[in-house]
Amino acid sequence: MLQYESFPLMLLVLPGGMVLGGFYFGVLWYTVQRLPTVARPALWMILSFVLRLGVVLIGFYLLSGGHWQNLLLALLGFVMVRSVLVYRLKPKRKKFVSMIGKG
């Protein structure tokens, strides 16, 4: 059962999930940018994944405090950051110019 005393803490969980999302996707972006220049790209990806996953799982555990409502709010913050980044960083669409009939 949700207690009214925990409501102020719940207000911190959503931004905490957003911080975790920023960390996860920020490190992912950094890793992908570095792949062409590192000597062992597969190892770089694996280590990056383990680091990102470990930090995010520990963060979710700490933010949840044993309450599923907090975990849900943290996940919402995480997904919100992902949605914003996907929207802001999507590649620009180029207009397709047909070459049919041009000589």
Give pLDDT tens digits for 71-100. 999 999 999 999 999 888 887 777 666 666
Helix (H, G, I), strand (E, B) or coil at 27: helix
**Neighbour tally for 60: CB within 10 Å:** 18
**Neighbour tally for 10: CB within 10 Å:** 16
Domain map (residue ranges) of the chain: 9-89
Which amino acid, residue 26?
A: G
- What's the CA gap between 36 and 29, in Å, rounded? 13
**Neighbour tally for 74: CB within 10 Å:** 29
State if pTM tops 0.85: no
Give pLDDT tens digits for 2-28. 555 666 777 899 999 999 999 999 999
